[in-house]
Amino acid sequence: MPRRSSRLRLVFLVGLLTLTVLWAVHDIRSRRARTEWQRPVEVAVDVVELGAVNAHAVNALRARFPALEARLAAEYHRYGGRMGRPIVFTIFGPVRVDRPPPPDPDSTLTSLARHAYDQWLWTRAVDRVSELPARHFDSRIYVLAREPRDSARNWVEGSSEQGGRVGVARIDLDTSMVDLAMFVVTHELFHTLGASDKYDAAGRAVIPDGLVEPNRVPLYPQRYAEVMTRNRVTAPGVERPPESLSELGVGLGTAREIGWAGAAKPK
């Protein structure tokens, strides 16, 4: 009977819609829960080699994550956090790929949708090879490592979904680049946790949000590079890329965005 079948179809569609809404609510809640800091944020880092990469550098990269956990914990404690390790990394890979993830989309809706789909295909393929169970992690950061080609210009950049779950950090990897890679991974991870960039169109740190110690006297040189900028500010208008993990800092603006700080000032 046509009436009965159309009623069944309606029930089915309403059921499907309800499930979709429930899933979306659950996903939004679980993404928000990451920045409540009631439990550690669990991050999967998947090391992906685009072509052959020096094995020493890859091993050095993998071995550096406990130090990054400790550095991030120290910054979190500066804002009064209580957990021992607020961010825990689990490392996957290295896996070798012959195709990088899709380039950044422009801002049109079709380009964004296309990019989301292409990136999903790419990460799904990489997850399978590296046996990364995507569901178990709050955020996944893919470190796309490439052998350095041109000593004049290193490839260090990233892209992430702000407030999403997936970030990509691209780096020309040799042993001298390992600590800088830790900055890029943290930068992309913090985007997934809701942090915004703290540099201007020219790439310079925004003052004061791009400074870790905006009340330091004298103000410069700053001791730390704010993780959502690109550099450490050493004098007015003068910046330097960070050289070591010990320079990694989290400024108040970023700390507020990821839920480490409320209105109170850090110690």
The footprint of Zn ion on this chain (CB under 5 A) covers a number of residues equal to: 1
Q: Select from 24-32, 99-107, 140-148, 191-199 the region that touches Zn ion (CB under 5 A).
A: 191-199
Nearer to Zn ion, 62 or 191 (CB): 191
CA dist 195 and 192 (Å) reads 7
Residue 138 to residues 135, 154, 244, Cα–Cα distance (Å): 8, 30, 27
Q: Does 157 bind Zn ion (CB under 5 A)?
A: no
Tell me how far, at minimum, the Cβ of 230 lies from Zn ion, in Å: 9
Q: Are 135 and 42 in contact (CB under 8 A)?
A: no
Could you give the 3-state DSSP secondary structure of residue 168? strand
- Measured CA distances, 97 to 50, 127, 145, 246 (Å): 5, 12, 10, 32
- Environment class of residue 74 by beta-carbon count within 10 Å: exposed (0-12), middle (13-18) or buried (19+)? middle
Instruction: Output the residue with the shortest Cβ distance to Zn ion.
Output: 197
- The residue among 60 and 182 lying less far from Zn ion, judged by its C-beta, is 182
Q: Least distance from C-beta 93 to Zn ion, angstroms? A: 23
Give the Cα separation of 156 and 145 in Å (integer): 10
Residue closer to Zn ion, measured from CB, 118 or 197 = 197
The alpha carbon of residue 87 and the mean position of all alpha carbons in its chain are separated, in whole angstroms, by 12
> Cβ of residue 61: shortest distance to Zn ion, in angstroms?
20
Whole-number Å distance between alpha carbons of 144 and 188: 12
Choice between 174 and 197, CB closer to Zn ion: 197
Shortest reach from residue 123's CB to Zn ion, in Å: 19
Interaction residues for Zn ion, span 194-233 (CB under 5 A): 197
Q: How buried is 264 (Cβ within 10 angstroms: 0-12 exposed, 13-18 middle, 19+ buried)?
A: exposed
Choice between 123 and 229, CB closer to Zn ion: 229
147 vs 197, which CB is nearer to Zn ion?
Answer: 197
Q: How far is the CB of 125 from Zn ion (least distance, A)?
A: 25
Q: Tokens standing for 57?
A: 């550098």
Q: How far is the CB of 88 from Zn ion (least distance, A)?
A: 22
The residues binding Zn ion (CB under 5 A) are 197
